[in-house]
Amino acid sequence: MGLGWFWKSWRDGVMDLETQKLCQDDERSALLQFKASFTIDKSVSQDPFAYPKVASWGRLEGDPQRSNCCSWDGVECNDVSGHVIGLDLASSYLHGSINSNSSLFQLVQLQRLDLSDNNFSFSQIPSRLGNDLTSLTYLNLSMSSFSGQIPSEISYLSKLSALDLTSDYMLALEKANFRSLIQNLTDIKQLHLSKVSILSSVPNTLVNMSSLTSLRLQACNLEGEFPVGIFHLPNLQVLDLAYNDNLTGYFPDYLNRSSPLKILNLQSTNFSGHLPASIGDLNALNLLNISSCHFYPHVPSSLSNLTQLNFLDLSSFYDYSYQPDLPTIHTFGGQVSNSWSWVGKLTNLNHLVLVDTNLRGDLPCSLANLTQLLELDLSQNHITGEIPCCLAHLTQLFKLDLGHNQITGQIPSCLMLLTQLTLLDVRFNNLQGAIPRSLLQLKSLEYIFLNSNNLSGYVQFDEFSKLKRLRGLRLSLNKLSVQIKTGFTAILPKLNLLELGSCNLTEFPEFLKFSSELMHLDLSDNNLHGQIPKWMWNSTSETLRYLNLSHNHLTGFEENSIMIPWHRLSSLQLDSNMLRGSLPIPGLSMAVYSVSNNEYEGEIPATFCNAGTLTILDLSNNNLNGMIPQCFENFGALQILKLRNNSFHGDIPQICSNRCTELAAIDLSYNQLQGKLPRSIANCPQLMFLNLGNNQISDTFPSWLGVLQQLKILILRSNIFHGIIGKPASSHEFPKLSIIDLSSNDFSGLLPSNYLENWNAMKFVDENEQIYVQSAVIFGMYPDTFHYDYPITVFSKGIQLKYFKTPYLLRLIDLSSNKFEGEIPGIIGNLTGLHLLNLCNNTLTGPIPSSLGNLTALESLDLSLNQLSGKIPGDLAQLTFLAYFNVSHNRLYGSIPQGRQFDTFQEDMYRGNSGLCGKPLSKKCEDSESATPQTNFQQDQDSGFQIELDWFVVLPGVVTGLIVGVVGENFWTAKKHDWFIKAFSRRREPRSTRRRRGLRT
C-alpha cells in the first residue's frame, strides 16, 4: 500500500470537511458546557434503545470530525450557517438539573429540542426556555422528572407546532396558563400534556385550532364539559382524554365521515349519552377505548364498519341505571350470540376487551374470524355454556381472559393449539373435571389462573416444572388435591406468584426453598400443621410481598422472631390458626396485617406505631389486653380497623385525629373500653361501619356522627350511653343509616322521632344493591379486589342471631332495654324498608300506632315489657312477612288480630296482657270484643318475590314471608334472608365473588 493511497484518503477527507459546514465555536462551547452539567446514569431510562449520546461529544487530537459539533450525536445544524438548530438528547441517561444560567440558552437558533426520558432531578422547567429559545417549533420535555408549575413563558413560543410536557404527576399548569397557552400556540399540531395537573376545563378555543392533529390530555384532572366541536376538527388523528373522572361530555349526533381520527381514548371519564350510529363512519379508527364511562347500554351495529380497528375496549362503558328504560337493539344486556354478530367483522382486531359489559349466553364462534387477535378479555360478565374449541383458531392469541363468568364444562384440550398463549385466566367460573395435561404443552405459558371453580382430581405438581417460563399459578378454591412428591426440588426459575389454597396440602412445599423470586404465596385453607419453617423466610425474606396462610393449624414460627421475618412484606394473613404468644411486629412496608381468630396474647407492642402504612389491621378474636396504643391516631392510611373480641381497656384513642380519608370500618366491640367516644371519628368521611358494642363507654348520644354521609351501620349496644336523644342539627344527618342498635344502655326521654324522620335509607330498599355490606380493598402483586365482611349480632326472640356477613338490604332499629318513655311515634310507619324493630324493655305508653301496618317488609317486631295500652291494630295483619311478634307484658286489651302471620304466633307472645282475648289465648272474646275478621290470604299471595330457591325452610303454619332461602348462591332478598337460618341452626354460606373492574394483569 503506497503513499498515493494515503494522499487520496487525506484529500477526500479534506473535501468532505469543505462540503460539510462546521459548527459555530461559541455553540460548540455551549454544548460542551451543557454536557459537563450532567452525569451519566444508566438507571434513568428503561428504553432498550437508550444510550449516552453526549459521550461522543468533544475534541480529539488528529480527528477534526470530532471537533465539529454538527457531527455529534443528537445535534443538527443549519446547512448554510452552521448554527445548531436541533438538539435530540432523548433517552440519553442524563442526570442533573437545568438552571437559569445553563449554556443551553445560548443556542438561540434552536428549532427542535428533545430532552425527554432523562432525569432532571425534579427541578422546575426554566422560564428562559420561553424567553430565549423563541425559534422553537418542537419541544419535548416529557417524562424527564421536571416538577412544579409550568412557566407561563412557554406560551411565548408561538411558533411551536409540537409541545410534549407529559409528566409523571409532578407538573402543574394553572388555569389561566392553560387558556393563554392555547391562545398563543395558534400553529400547534401536537399538544401532549398527559399527567400534568391542570384542574380546569378544556378551553373552547381549541375548537378553532384546525391544524391540530394530536391532543393528549390523559389524567390531567380536567373538569367541566368537553367542547363537542373538537370532534369535528378536520385534521385530528389522536384524541386521548383518559382518566379524567370529572370531565363530562358526549358524542355529537353526527361524526364526519372524512375524519382522519385514528385513536380515540375516553377511558375513565364521565362521558355519557348515546353512542351515535355515525361512530361507524370513523373509517380510519385504529383504537377505540370508551371503558369505564357512563354511556347508554346500546352499541350501534355500525361499529362493524370500523374494519381498521386494532384495539377495542368497551369495558364497563355504560351506566347500569339507564338500562331498564332503554330499547336495546344491540345491547350488551342481551344474549352474546345475538349481540356479537358485528364483532366477527372486525378482522383486523389485535385487542378485544369487553370486561364487565353484562354479556350473557354462550361464546359465539364468530370470534374465530378474528385471526389476528392477540388479546381477548371477556372477564366479569355472565357468559354461560362451555368454552368452544373454535377459539383454538386464534393461533396468535397471547392472552385469554374469561374469568369471573358462569362458564361450565371442562377446560377443553383443544386450547393446546394456542401455542403463543402466555396468559390463561378462567378463574371464578363453574368449570369441572380435571386440569387437562395438554395445557402443559403450551411452553409459552407464563400465567395460569384456574382458581375458584369446581375443578377436581389429583394434580401432580412436578408436571408444572415443564413450564420454564411460568411466573404465576393459581389453583385455589377448587376440589383439587395437589400432590408434591417428597424431595421434589425442581426449580421454576421465574415463579413469583403461587396460590394453592384449599388444595389438601399437609406440608409446606419444599421446592419453595429454591423459589428465590417468589413474591406472592397463598397456602390458605389447607391442613398445614405445626410451625412455619425457618427456610420459608430464608429463601424469600427479600422478595415476598404477599403471604396468606390463614385457615390452617399453625402454632407459630419455627424460629421465634419479634419482627415479621419478611422485610418487604406488604400483606400478611394468618387468620384462623392456633398461633400463640406475642404479636409479631409488622415491617415498615406492611399494608395488610390480619391475624384474627388465633390465640395471641399480651399487649400490642409499641413498635406497631412504626407501621404507618397499615391499610387493614385485624386483630379480632384473640386474647390481647392492655390499652389501644395512642399512635393509632396517626395511621392515616387505615381503611379497616378490627379489634373485636379481645380484652382491651382504657380510653379509645383519638382515631383519625389526622383526617383519615379512607377509613371505612371500625369494630372495637366486645372489649372493656371506657371513657367517651372520641370526637375525631367525625374526621372519617368514608366511614360506613362503626361497632362499639359490648364495652363500658360512658357518653351521650353521638349526634355529631351525623356528618358522616356514608355511615350505614351504627352499633353502640351494651355500654353506658345515657341521656336524652335530642333533635338533629339538620335534616341531612345520617342519610344512609340502615342499621342502628342502641340497646342495653341508659338512654331516656322520648323516642327520637326527629331522627326517625331523617333516616331516609330505612324508607325504601334498593334490590339492585350489592349482597353484603363490604369494604373492597385492592392489594397484592397482581391486584385483586378483596371484600372484607362485617359481622354483627342481633337480638330477637330471645335469641342471639349472628350475621357473619351483614346483608346490604337489612334495615334494623333496636332501642330495647333503655329508659325510653312516652308514646311510639306514628312517623315510624314511614320506614317502610324496616325488617326488624325492637323497642322492648322500656317504659313506653299509649297505643300501638296503626301506622306500623305500613311496614310491609317487617319480619320481627318486639314491643314487650313496656306499658302500652289499647288494642293491637288490625292493620298489623297485613304484614305478610312478619315472622316474630311479641307484645307480652303490657296493658293491651281487646281481640287479637287473626289470619295470616297471626295464626302462627304462640300464646307466650301475648302473656301479661290480662285484657287480651282470642286465639291463641284460651280466653274467648265477648261479643263486644269480637275477633278481627280473617283476611283472605289468597288475594295477597302474589305480593312476595317470585324467585327460584336452591333450598328452603317452611315452618308449620307459616306463610310466604317465612320461606327462607339462598337464591343462585349469591342472592339475598329483604323478605327471605339468612338470620332465620342461624336461628334454626341451619346455614349455608353464599359463595363470594371478587370484582376486578379496571384491573388488568
Q: What is the DSSP string of 592-646?
A: EEE--SSEEEEPPPGGGGG-TT-SEEE--SSEEEEEPPGGGGG-TT-SEEE--SS
Share of the chain above pLDDT 90, in %: 68
Mean pLDDT, range 318-331, rounded to an integer:
42
Q: DSSP label at 136?
A: -
Give which of 960, 895, 900, 891 is closest to 924, Cα–Cα: 895
Mean pLDDT, range 758-775, rounded to an integer:
72
- β-pair type (214-216, 739-741): unpaired
CA distances from 598 to 582, 583, 624, 627 (A): 11, 10, 10, 19
**pLDDT tens profile 818-841:** 999 999 999 999 999 999 999 999
Q: Angle at Cα 836 formed by Cα 830 and Cα 842, nearest 5°?
A: 90
Q: In what order do the strands lie in the sheet with 270-273?
A: 223-225, 246-249, 270-273, 294-295
Confidence of residue 960 (pLDDT cuts 50, 70, 90): very low
Residue corresponding to grid cell 324496616: 834
489 vs 484: CA distance, rounded Å: 10
451 or 8: whose pLDDT is higher? Answer: 451
CATH code assigned to 250-445: 3.80.10.10
Residue corresponding to grid cell 328452603: 952
Confidence of residue 780 (pLDDT cuts 50, 70, 90): low
CA distances from 536 to 556, 568, 630, 902 (A): 13, 14, 34, 62
495 vs 972: CA distance, rounded Å: 40
Mean pLDDT, range 426-443, rounded to an integer:
95
What pLDDT score was predicted for residue 182? 86
Mean pLDDT, range 702-708, rounded to an integer:
95
**pLDDT tens profile 922-958:** 999 987 655 444 443 333 333 332 222 222 233 333 3
Q: Are 611 and 633 in contact (CB under 8 A)?
A: no
What pLDDT score was predicted for residue 246? 96
CB-count burial class (<10 Å; 0-12, 13-18, 19+) for 736: middle
Mean pLDDT, range 631-654, rounded to an integer:
91
259 vs 701: CA distance, rounded Å: 64
Q: Are 74 and 88 in contact (CB under 8 A)?
A: yes
Phi-psi category of 101—alpha, beta or left, where left has phi over 0 and alpha has psi -120 to 50?
alpha
Amino acid at 454: N
Question: Dihedrals φ, ψ of 646, to 5°?
Answer: -130, -155
Confidence of residue 976 (pLDDT cuts 50, 70, 90): very low
What pLDDT score was predicted for residue 340? 65
Q: Angle at Cα 201 formed by Cα 196 and Cα 203, nearest 5°?
A: 100
Confidence of residue 388 (pLDDT cuts 50, 70, 90): very high
560 or 618: whose pLDDT is higher? Answer: 618
What pLDDT score was predicted for residue 332? 44
Q: How many CA atoms lie within 13 A of 440 on its CB side?
A: 11
What pLDDT score was predicted for residue 944? 33
Q: Tell me: pLDDT of 193 over 90.
A: yes
Give this prediction's pTM: 0.82
Q: Are 563 and 587 in contact (CB under 8 A)?
A: yes
Confidence of residue 139 (pLDDT cuts 50, 70, 90): very high
With b meaning 16 or more CB within 10 Å and e meaning fewer, what string describes 605-644? Answer: beebeebebbbbbbbbbbebeeebbebbbbbbbbbbbbbb
Grid cell at residue 979:
338470620
Q: DSSP label at 207?
A: G
> Can the peptide bond before residue 920 be classed as cis, meaning omega within 30 degrees of 0?
yes
738 vs 857: CA distance, rounded Å: 14
What pLDDT score was predicted for residue 980? 35
Mean pLDDT, range 519-532, rounded to an integer:
95
What pLDDT score was predicted for residue 983? 34
Non-local CB neighbours of 928 within 8 Å, separated by 6+ positions: none
Grid cell at residue 259:
375524519
Non-local CB neighbours of 953 within 8 Å, separated by 6+ positions: 962, 963, 964, 965, 980, 981, 984, 986
What pLDDT score was predicted for residue 550? 97
Non-local CB neighbours of 767 within 8 Å, separated by 6+ positions: 809, 973, 974
Grid cell at residue 224:
367541566
With b meaning 16 or more CB within 10 Å and e meaning fewer, what string describes 30-62? Answer: bbbebbeebeeeeebbeeeebebbbeebeeeee
* Among the ranges given (357-361, 714-718, 773-777, 812-816), the one the predictor scored with the smallest mean pLDDT: 773-777
Non-local CB neighbours of 325 within 8 Å, separated by 6+ positions: none
**What does the mean pLDDT of the chain come to?**
85
**What residue spans define the domains of the chain?**
250-445
280 vs 299: CA distance, rounded Å: 11
Grid cell at residue 137:
417549533
Mean pLDDT, range 699-724, rounded to an integer:
96
Confidence of residue 787 (pLDDT cuts 50, 70, 90): low
Mean pLDDT, range 113-133, rounded to an integer:
96
What pLDDT score was predicted for residue 510? 87
What pLDDT score was predicted for residue 338? 47
**pLDDT tens profile 471-506:** 999 999 999 999 988 776 667 889 999 999 999 999
Mean pLDDT, range 338-353, rounded to an integer:
84
287 vs 310: CA distance, rounded Å: 6
- The SS3 assignment for 949 reads coil
Q: Are 449 and 424 in contact (CB under 8 A)?
A: yes
172 vs 195: CA distance, rounded Å: 9
Share of the chain above pLDDT 70, in %: 84
Q: Are 501 and 473 in contact (CB under 8 A)?
A: no
363 vs 244: CA distance, rounded Å: 33
Q: DSSP label at 964?
A: B
